[in-house]
Amino acid sequence: MASGVPVIVSNIGGLKEIVNNPVDGILLEKNDPKEIYEKIMMLYKNPDLRRYLSKNARRKVEEKYDWNKIICNIEKLYMEILEEKKYPLLYSKNK
Largest CA distance in the chain: 62
Q: What is the pLDDT of residue 94?
A: 60
Instruction: State the angle between helix axes of 33-45 and 47-64 in degrees (0 to 180), rounded to the nearest 10.
Output: 100
Q: What is the pLDDT of residue 85?
A: 84
**Which of 55, 65, 3 minimizes the C-alpha distance to 24?**
55
pLDDT at 90 > cutoff 80? no
Of the pLDDT bands very low, low, confident and very high (cuts 50, 70, 90), residue 93 is low
Length of the chain: 95
Question: How far is it, in rounded angstroms, from Cα 94 to Cα 89?
Answer: 9
Q: Where are the domains of the chain?
A: 1-64, 65-95
pLDDT digits (tens, 9 = 90+) for 27-84: 998 889 999 999 999 999 999 999 999 999 999 999 888 899 899 999 999 999 888 8
Q: Helix (H, G, I), strand (E, B), or coil: what is residue 66?
A: coil
Question: How far is it, in rounded angstroms, from Cα 63 to Cα 70?
Answer: 10
| CA atoms 31, 61, 68, 87: torsion sign | negative
E strands along the chain, which residues?
8-10, 26-28
pLDDT digits (tens, 9 = 90+) for 11-27: 989 999 999 999 999 99
